[in-house]
A and B are shown apart, each in its own frame.
Chain A
Amino acid sequence: MENTFEIEIVTPEQAVYKGTIVSVLVPGSEGLFQVLPNHAPIISTLKKGNIRMGLPNGEDQTYKVAGGVIEVMNNKAIVLVEKILSGEIQDDEAEEE
């Protein structure tokens, strides 16, 4: 069974991040929750907070966002956020591996 999944973070102005990760912690409006590979399909709204992604190389990457919505389906997470408050915006395409 795979232990990574795809994630895409987009705002109305740009694509922020696209790549493969092992986990993501998002600030759901009902409370923080973590998405791991093979998570059940979910749609949840997000409130202001941090999105923390665990990258395959063991590092973490965090974005602070102003709220949005996440959809997880078939091992693919799509996060729509209205605004990135802080965090490095990735320019190039997907991560290695």
Chain B
Amino acid sequence: MTSAQEPLASAVARPRRDLLLGLAIVAVAAVFVRALAFTPIEARQGPAQKILYVHATSAIVGLYLAFGLMAVASLLYLWLKDAKLDRVAESAAEVGLVYTTAVLVTGPLWGKTIWGAWWTWDARLTSTLFLWFIIVAYLLLRGAVEERDRRARYSAVLGILASLLVPFIHLSVYLFRTLHPMPIVLKPSAPSMPSEMRVTFFAGLLAFILLFAALLRARYRLATLRDLVHDHEQERA
């Protein structure tokens, strides 16, 4: 039997159990336990400070890693016109959107306890929300354009433009007077955190990077499968 005659369902290999995803879920759960039960409570902010371990780590992975990968894959797609790169960009955008959603739902919980307000229209919060909407638009655009090459080209351009917001979001706390705290990790000097909190923070960062890799792989597999189904349905039509 030649590869062309092999059953279609075996064309995109599905791991019987997604070990990477399982490992990532265990790692994130372990960080939750460490953060909530074994990390000291910050004296001035109280237990709400522990939101940092899931909020800031999700922001770092979502904004820098996911949208950075989306931008690089989009740029490479425009150059090489390889459908795999388009699928990587699409997958990174969707997973990045999930991370940014996590950032936007946890931030207000911290804000309410510390600032006394769920939301404030300052530069950091507003630009992050704006990026969230652009990524939603990016995914809607992908759903709206039927022709594959045109869809990939349009979304690559939008993906690159969206990623230009990321440095602005990072610098917004320096450029504008904002309520949002200054970076405590992504800054030129050493992280300003006691060692026990620092360990929890970096463990959280590693766990969310692992989760990102697992989700990206699963989402890429889904995109490959979708294209395969679409191609074969068109062949049959």
A and B form one complex: no
Residue numbers of B with Cβ under 8 A of A are none
